[in-house]
Amino acid sequence: MKHTAIDIASALKPEFASEEYKQRRQRAAALMLSQGIDALLLNSEANNRYFTGHTSGRWLSRTRPIFLIITKEGAATILCSTKSEADTALMTTAGGCEIKVFGGTGHDIKPGIKGVVDELTALGLDRGRVAAELGVHHRPQLSAMAFESIREALPQLKLVDGSGLLWRARATKSVGEIDYIRTAIGVTDRMYDKVPEWLGAAESERAAFTRVGLDVLTFGAEAFGYRSVNDVTQPPGAGYTDRPIRKNSVIYIDSTCSVAGYWADFARIFAVGAPTSELEDTYKRLWDITGEEINAVRPGATINEVYSVARRATERLTGTTPTLGRVGHSIGLEIVEPPSLCEEEQWVLEPGMVFCIEPSLNSPSGSTLIAEEMVVVTETGFELLTKRATERLLRI
């Protein structure tokens, strides 16, 4: 059933112009044609939002799935379970999408599966090659068994993984996307600027963890995501505990927040009192490594080349042969997006790609320090998006 517009006085507004969403779908369509794919079947919030602008609280519900089908011609159809969800889709999309309701009770995904099967059949795709979010870094609403149900209902359908295509389509950000990322970074910078005023008086890591989240919301974030507040003597990314924040301790804070769905993710390190000379030295070496990695970012460079710069800098500044995992990652509508900055990745950097530069370094006594800044690849090199961390460990 095709859904028609309704008269709502205070409608939500799309985050980008209709032409930008059309260009995104055309970019995906070109990739489909090059890979022999007839359509995309999408069932995740980020991809739906990226290609149509559709936002909804229904993504939290596993029994009221939302689907987006994009054909190799660039035509888009949103499938919703209820009329109210279709109304939301009308308000948040910028046009160019057909919106249909498949119905259902809200406690069973079977109507949604039937809706997808019927729409694929109506589009002549029941014998086609359709790519879905089946691979790396994708977590659709549907379970693996639900996708098997689609295969069983359409035995001639070739349902393949579309992860590589989707990440290629989303890798380079538009000016508007980067502006939202800049805004999220500005919110996070404001939060970090306030930390020296209260961290020394915080009762515990838990209290600091809560304050970080409240501050980014107060300063204008749409949402907060991953956060970590912990003493650097503890495992990195441990989140928080009820440990008191002790005098002369060094505290690592990693915070994320989003604006219009686009994320900022960077970390800062604070000394509450006087840190050891060992930690001060480790921090300065890490600051230098971070700078060298940032300066390696340029269009035409490969991910492996950027990684290798960070590795060589670590070897030279520490006199050791480090064991490095990734030293950063891409970011956008999701906090961690491919490609990761790692040794095996050969992806070529292009203008508009946004990265979190994230090397780490262990002190001689075993404390782990992690630096993180954000950059965008430009036509001539890079632009540092974050306000660079202080060169020396900040004492408060």
- Residue 63 is predicted with a pLDDT of 78
Question: 227, 212 in Cβ contact below 8 A?
Answer: yes
Q: Could you tell me which residue, 257 or 105, shows the higher pLDDT? A: 257
Q: How does pLDDT run across 302-336, given as a tens digit for each residue?
A: 999 999 999 999 999 998 877 788 999 999 999 99
- Give dist(CA 134, CA 143) in Å, integer: 10
- Residue 96 has a pLDDT of 84
pLDDT in tens, 140-193: 988 899 999 999 999 999 999 999 999 999 999 999 999 999 999 999 999 999
pLDDT at position 58 is 80
Contact 362, 161 (CB under 8 A): no
Tell me the residue type at 354: V
- Which pLDDT belongs to residue 89? 80
Percent of the chain at pLDDT above 90? Answer: 80
- pTM strictly above 0.75: yes
Which domains does the chain show, CATH number per domain? Answer: 18-170 (3.40.350.10), 175-395 (3.90.230.10)
Average pLDDT over residues 210-220: 97
The confidence score (pLDDT) of residue 12 equals 52
**Contacts of 385-388 spanning 24+ positions with Cβ under 8 A:** 385/178, 385/181, 385/182, 385/185, 385/354, 386/185, 386/189, 386/266, 387/189
SS3 assignment for the chain: CECCCCCCCCCCCCCCCHHHHHHHHHHHHHHHHHHCCCEEEECCHHHHHHHHCCCCHHHHCCCCCCEEEEECCCCEEEEECCHHHHHHHHHHCCCCEEEEECCCCCCCCHHHHHHHHHHHHHCCCCCCEEEECCCCCCCCCCCHHHHHHHHHHCCCCEEEECHHHHHHHHCECCHHHHHHHHHHHHHHHHHHHHHHHHHHHCCCHHHHHHHHHHHHHHCCCCEEEEEEEEECCCCCCCCCCCCCCCCCEEEEEEEEEEECCEEEEEEEEEEECCCCHHHHHHHHHHHHHHHHHHHCCCCCCEHHHHHHHHHHHHHHHHCCCCCCCCCEEECCCCCCEEEECCCCCCCECCCCEEEEECCEEECCCCCEEECCEEEEECCCCEEECCCCCCCCCEEC
Structure confidence by residue, pLDDT tens digits, 21-57: 999 999 999 999 999 999 999 999 999 999 999 988 8
Interval 73-117: pLDDT, tens:
999 999 998 888 888 888 778 778 999 999 877 678 899 999 999
